[in-house]
Amino acid sequence: MLADIGRQNLEKHQQLDAEYADRIAENEADLADARKAWQDAIEAARQKREAKEAEAGPEGLEDPGSIMARLNDAVAGLGDRLSKQAEKIGVKGTFNAAAVRGLGAGDAADRTAKATEETAKNTRKLLDEIIDGGLAFS
């Protein structure tokens, strides 16, 4: 009886091993087919791209000089704009609690610059009025 059970067990294992080997072979065949289809699709896409490029010719390409000219136009004056923005940006700080109150007011140079800008703006208005004939000095 033990010999019969051992024989049945061996047969069952052999049957399972055979089924497993069949499944592995099927999966490998499916994988090979999928790889072939993938390679064929890549080749077809490459051929289409080459045909499209040959059809378009060099007319579709832009001259590197014009690209550089457009780039130079786009960045012209960028340095001036950045330096103006950098002048506006400032960092202030203190470890003194009494000095914290003065952080929002700005320093003497800021106040002088603002006053100078206002003076220039008002002087420009007066000059424009004089040119237009709207002001007369007596």
Higher-pLDDT residue of 41, 78: 41
Residue 56, token pair as written in the block: 């378009």
Report the percentage of the chain scoring pLDDT > 90. Answer: 33
What pLDDT score was predicted for residue 23? 94
The 3-state DSSP class for residue 15 equals helix
Q: What is the pLDDT of residues 12-65, one digit of tens each?
A: 999 999 999 999 999 999 999 999 999 999 999 999 988 887 776 555 566 677
pTM: 0.34
CB 74 within 8 A of CB 66: no
